[in-house]
Structure 1
Amino acid sequence: MAYRHMGLERQNPDSELRMLACVHGPRHVPTLLGITAWLSGSCKAPVTPYLMHLVEITGKERSNLLYHQKEDDLSDDECFGGNDGMEINQMVDMFTSETGVHMNQITAASTLSTVYEDVCNGAEDLTISIILIPFHKYMRIDGKMECAKEGIRTINQKVLRHAPCTVGILIDKGFGAFGPTLQAMGSFDAQQQPCQMIAVLFFGGVDDREALAFASRLVMHPDVKLTLVRFLSTSTNEYINGMEMAITKDEEVLMTIQSHQSENDADQEFLASFYNRYVATGKVNYTEMTVANGADTVAVLREMKDKYSMFIVGKGGRGLSPLTVGMNDWEECPEIGAVGDLLASSDFGATSSVLVVQQHRRTKKERFEDEFMVM
């Protein structure tokens, strides 16, 4: 049967979640294991996690191998991450021993220019629902963000373009969150994990709905306190005034208004369902923030930056919402959106980790085939 990814927002929250977490080394493993543990908080919604260690090789044929499996022509330990691979294996084994959650491990040895193919092909072969990949920057002890390797950013951009499913880019700050637990304590004791305060920032649109759908999978874990923060505009008319696009024809204005109305309807329907299922039952906190423009949004985010250990937000479009007008002007990494870029920046000063979610954009061919199958 052909693999056709359905966005998380259209999936039953109690259905199986198949996740592919990618790492370049041990740095991001603890945080990804923490997320995996949270996703395993409900027996009604099973999670099937895979951890793919991305290893760069030069001058040799690439290979996708299972845990501890090697080929004769690629027997050199350095080709499979060397000590990094051993450290990752130890952390995963310790995590499985302490939590009972089995993490399937894969090593993808490839050249830097083709790593994204291993990720995307692996996601398709394993019928993955969401891919989690680390951001190309990490936070130093002094709080500044530093680029680990520019090639990682290129990999992320290609995965976002070619992935057959939803993609989440993890900006792992580590400090004040769950990241250092494995490394500092030498174990992963689920009973000793502090309560995690997580905020989902909702501005509207398909990516924000996807981000909220993923966050809903964390609700059932007893150590997770989830808050939905919905941003509202002071005036719905500001949408048209705030658009950063060249309008040359009346038809374009009409299409934009219709598209906006359609997105608003989808947002309202999804939020109503989420509210009734989680907020009304006391499982999730809910708050609304009314802002007039991007400057107001930045001010609100600054006030809440130290209250949460993680922010989850959709990547979003570019220049279509008055809530983020002007935020694109200082954007350094468009691949994580205006809000994600702000939260990840050194100047913002937040120590909270950030997960930026992009829902898979189906091609015209895929949409036609899906409609044909329904008919």
Structure 2
Amino acid sequence: MSINSNYTLFNEIKRLNGPIYKVCFEAPPHIVSDGLWGGHDNGRRPMKSFLTLFELQLIIIFALTQICSFLLKPLRLPQFLPQMIAGLILGVSFELKPMDTYMDKLFPYGTHDVISSISSLGMMFFVFINGVQMDFSLITRTGKKAWIISIIGFSVPLCVLFIPLLTLPGKVEAIQKIDGGNGILVAMLTHSLSTFGTIASLLSELQIQNSELGRLSLSSALVCDILTAIIQSNIVVLVTSPDSTTLLRNLFLLYILIVLIPLVCRPIMFWIIKRTPEGRPVKDSYLYVIISMVFVFGILSVKINQEFAIGAFILGLSVPEGPPLGSALVKKLQFFCTTFFLPIFVTTCVLKADFSMDVSSSVMVYTGLAVLVTHLVKMTACFITALCCKMPVTDALCISLILNTKGVIEVGIYSSAFDDQIINRKTFGMMMISIMIIATIVHWSVKLLYDPSRKYAGYQKRNMMGLKRNSELRILVTLQKQNHISAATNFLDLCCPTQEKPITVDVLHVIELVGRALPLFIHHRLQRQASGSTSSKSYSDNVILAFDIYEHDNQNAVSINTYTAISPPNLMFEDVCNLALDKVATIIILPFHIRWSSDGEVESDDKKVLRALNRRVLEIAPCSVGILVTRANSMQKPTSIKSEYSTTRLAIIYLGGNDDDEEVLCLAKRAMNNPKINLVVYRLIAKENIEELEEFMVIGDEMLEEFKHAENVRYQEVFTKNGSQTASFLREIVNEHDFFIVGRRHETQSPQTDGLAEWSEFPELGAIGDFLASPDLNSSASVLVVQQQLSRTNDLKGWIL
């Protein structure tokens, strides 16, 4: 039997015996072609050249993947599923008579190995990146809950499912003879695992890796993945070694590899970090050396009968996670691995499967039952264990689902098992179907069941107005950059902390998560108590030092706790709101995303992180929120609050009729007790609505009575007809003050601001706040925009989606 050479890359192919073929081709093979109109004499035609055909296949796979992704986007499926469906479509096309001729020309015999081998680089680097993003030291710091859930969730299904293997060995052996492989055993083993990379990808897509459930799931997956890698590598050595001498040699070399890579490579990594100046990127030459080491250790792994990715995984674990080195490697390889080669790898893996399912086949039935029972047992074990750990029922169900999910890692495992002839094509096809079904069920179920924002629903009112007189004020200050520190401490001075009116400040330093998979939350006071030293290196040394000094300068009046949250930019709001909820904060102070110089030039603009953070916090915060707009030299003026003989000119813009304005007055009442503050309260009154607002003005007068009679407060009523007159008035006074406090007046219309909102560039600042923050005013004054806690219903799900 021979294969038509027109549908291959070779000159001739003859089938000799079973799956063995005699292949004839020219050496060296045709890599590039001579074009569409050339190559007929020398054979360098496009469809007979490896590189040209490979490029054409990449275009087809990429286009089909993108089409599937676009069409399936409304279903909100896992990101890798369109890649598998593209492979399924191409695989089915080979079986369709009208399409098989074209598919044989596009994917001729001999090209599958080429594209699979090249795209396998994407899988190898994906495993390497997962190792880089893991914090291996977290194994020693992970709580008991993660260890218990992980170990029980892994061991119980194996113990339960190995019972029939031990009690009915003859029946299992007969089924495996029909199967021609070990499909049932592979199904039970692999579906009992929880892989870190798969779970990290799922939580990232669902945007819950920053939640309590996400952190626990990642910790459990980390424990399971490390234990599985150790067990699997030892089993591979035992199974593949033909004699005791080879067994001992491979075991010895395996442990040499496990010990040698961290002992030799990790110090080299720290040397690279030490040689990199702070704030500067790592040199590309260092990165290329590390990437070359991935290939070297992959080859060494194959030499001792291990998977080529095991060396890359160990090397990844040896890389210090996070910036500068870990983040640089992730950024360098992210596009090459995740975006380009990995989707091709997934598609070509599915392309190899046989989806002609025979329902009557005992092998298919028993393999399907093994998969189903494994997942049911694993889910039950994880669910009961989570309940015993005093988790809520919904959270326990969600974590059992998350730890059962499957993804790209499992596709690679089954592809490797198929290539090693451990399972056949039909079993491989069934495993691919099981991955798609399980991933979809878990993705939809967790998205439906788990809502991190539900903890804020029905939460009690926490705002300035609700505080009793002379009671402690709890403030959460959020920072991202060093220049936010001085602005935050100046605001704290405005709150006039004293022994009679103390304030408690929780300072949260938010850092973008890069080069790590596990979000990190650090309580620095507890960290120092645990280490017994204040000299341990921290992510937020400058922040800690600045606020320690501030606390020392305000003894018995200010109590400060500092925290660091390292998380994805789109989930930083969870850290802020969770901490505000836990610490019963009254108000959250957020930095504005733009920093202007005195001449109106933009010095920094962090729209991607800070603006998204501010807008999310404004929506779901469990207390009041203030956005602090700071100009570059406003804190360097001689009228600084901290100057011994100077005063700060503070202005309050009050319109009335809104909770935000009442919150502003509460802050002003605290500021008026500071003798170094000259306070001016401007009350803007609409001319045309005086008669209609007489009743309200009586109520307003009651709130403003204290300001009207205070010696160090100047109270002024300003009559304005519309937003244009308000803008003119603000232009007149803007350079007379160092600091403004205004209300955001969310979704409230008033004659005084009529027309201002239409020109508003930043709605999160409100109409007046946006106008005062405009660089067109050439002002050096800071602005604090305050929003009182929003009233919410119990259903907040729509805000988070």
Is the CA contact 1:13–1:217 (under 8 Å) kept in the aligned structure 2? no
Of stretches 154-163 and 191-200 in structure 1, the one that deviates more from structure 2 is 191-200
| Counterpart selection for 1:153 from 597, 604, 611 | 611
Is the CA contact 2:760–2:767 (under 8 Å) kept in the aligned structure 1? yes
Q: 2:216: which partner in 1?
A: none
1:210-229 aligned at under 5 Å gives the runs 210-229=663-682
Q: 1:75: which partner in 2?
A: none
Change (3 A) 1:316 1:265: farther
Q: 1:36: which partner in 2?
A: 492
- Which structure has the larger Rg? 2
Q: 2:551: which partner in 1?
A: 96
Q: d(CA) in 2 for partners of 1:191 and 1:136?
A: 27
Is the CA contact 2:744–2:787 (under 8 Å) kept in the aligned structure 1? yes
Name the structure where strand makes up a greater proportion of residues. 1
Q: d(CA) in 2 for partners of 1:237 and 1:222?
A: 34
Is the CA contact 2:595–2:632 (under 8 Å) kept in the aligned structure 1? no
Q: d(CA) in 2 for partners of 1:46 and 1:111?
A: 34
Of stretches 300-309 and 50-59 in structure 1, the one that deviates more from structure 2 is 50-59
- TM (norm. structure 1) is 0.79
Deviation at 1:349, TM superposition (A): 1.8
Change (3 A) 1:276 1:331: closer
Q: d(CA) in 2 for partners of 1:120 and 1:328?
A: 28
Q: d(CA) in 1 for partners of 2:691 and 2:767?
A: 18
Deviation at 1:12, TM superposition (A): 2.8
| Counterpart selection for 2:650 from 187, 198, 209 | 198
Q: d(CA) in 2 for partners of 1:325 and 1:209?
A: 20
Is the CA contact 1:41–1:218 (under 8 Å) kept in the aligned structure 2? no
Q: 1:257: which partner in 2?
A: none
SS at 2:652's partner residue?
strand
Q: Give deviations 1:309-346, integer Å, cap 9, x for gaps.
A: 10000001346111111111211100110111111111
SS at 1:18's partner residue?
strand
Letter in 2 for 1:52: L
Change (3 A) 1:300 1:191: closer
Change (3 A) 1:104 1:180: farther
Q: 1:355: which partner in 2?
A: 784
Deviation at 1:277, TM superposition (A): 2.6
Q: d(CA) in 2 for partners of 1:358 and 1:287?
A: 23
Q: 1:26: which partner in 2?
A: 482
Q: 1:272: which partner in 2?
A: 701
SS at 1:9's partner residue?
coil
Deviation at 1:365, TM superposition (A): 4.6
Q: d(CA) in 2 for partners of 1:338 and 1:46?
A: 33
Q: d(CA) in 1 for partners of 2:599 and 2:734?
A: 17
1:271-290 aligned at under 5 Å gives the runs 271-290=700-719
Q: 2:597: which partner in 1?
A: 140
Q: 2:309: which partner in 1?
A: none
Q: 1:48: which partner in 2?
A: 504
Q: Give deviations 1:287-311, integer Å, cap 9, x for gaps.
A: 0111111110000000000111100
Q: Give deviations 1:146-200, integer Å, cap 9, x for gaps.
A: 5521121011000000100000000012534xx238xx9xxx9946262011011
Q: Give deviations 1:70-117, integer Å, cap 9, x for gaps.
A: 69xxxxxxxx985xx222222222223333233221111111111000
Is the CA contact 1:41–1:220 (under 8 Å) kept in the aligned structure 2? no
Name the structure where helix makes up a greater proportion of residues. 2
Q: d(CA) in 2 for partners of 1:319 and 1:40?
A: 30
Deviation at 1:351, TM superposition (A): 1.1
Deviation at 1:18, TM superposition (A): 0.4
Is the CA contact 1:295–1:326 (under 8 Å) kept in the aligned structure 2? yes
| Counterpart selection for 1:4 from 453, 457, 460 | 460
Letter in 1 for 2:543: I
Is the CA contact 2:707–2:715 (under 8 Å) kept in the aligned structure 1? no
Q: d(CA) in 2 for partners of 1:130 and 1:350?
A: 26
Q: 1:127: which partner in 2?
A: 584
2:732 is equivalent to residue 306 of structure 1: no
1:221-240 aligned at under 5 Å gives the runs 221-236=674-689
Change (3 A) 1:105 1:121: same
Is the CA contact 2:497–2:503 (under 8 Å) kept in the aligned structure 1? no
SS at 2:491's partner residue?
helix
Is the CA contact 2:521–2:566 (under 8 Å) kept in the aligned structure 1? yes
Letter in 2 for 1:302: R
Q: 2:362: which partner in 1?
A: none
Is the CA contact 2:598–2:779 (under 8 Å) kept in the aligned structure 1? no
Q: d(CA) in 1 for partners of 2:547 and 2:505?
A: 11
Is the CA contact 1:309–1:352 (under 8 Å) kept in the aligned structure 2? yes
Is the CA contact 2:588–2:624 (under 8 Å) kept in the aligned structure 1? yes
Is the CA contact 1:19–1:132 (under 8 Å) kept in the aligned structure 2? yes
Change (3 A) 1:89 1:69: same
Q: 1:173: which partner in 2?
A: 631
SS at 2:588's partner residue?
strand
Change (3 A) 1:278 1:291: closer
Deviation at 1:274, TM superposition (A): 3.4
Is the CA contact 1:54–1:109 (under 8 Å) kept in the aligned structure 2? yes
Letter in 1 for 2:644: Q
Is the CA contact 1:227–1:284 (under 8 Å) kept in the aligned structure 2? yes
Change (3 A) 1:6 1:68: closer
| Counterpart selection for 2:523 from 66, 75, 78 | 66
Q: How many residues align?
A: 324
Q: d(CA) in 2 for partners of 1:56 and 1:145?
A: 22
Bigger RCO (CA 8 Å, 6+ sep): 1
Change (3 A) 1:174 1:195: farther
Q: d(CA) in 2 for partners of 1:348 and 1:296?
A: 15
Letter in 1 for 2:628: L
Is the CA contact 1:99–1:189 (under 8 Å) kept in the aligned structure 2? no
Change (3 A) 1:317 1:42: same
Q: d(CA) in 2 for partners of 1:354 and 1:119?
A: 21
2:539 is equivalent to residue 110 of structure 1: no
- TM (norm. structure 2) is 0.38
Letter in 2 for 1:220: N
Q: d(CA) in 2 for partners of 1:113 and 1:212?
A: 33
Deviation at 1:267, TM superposition (A): 6.5
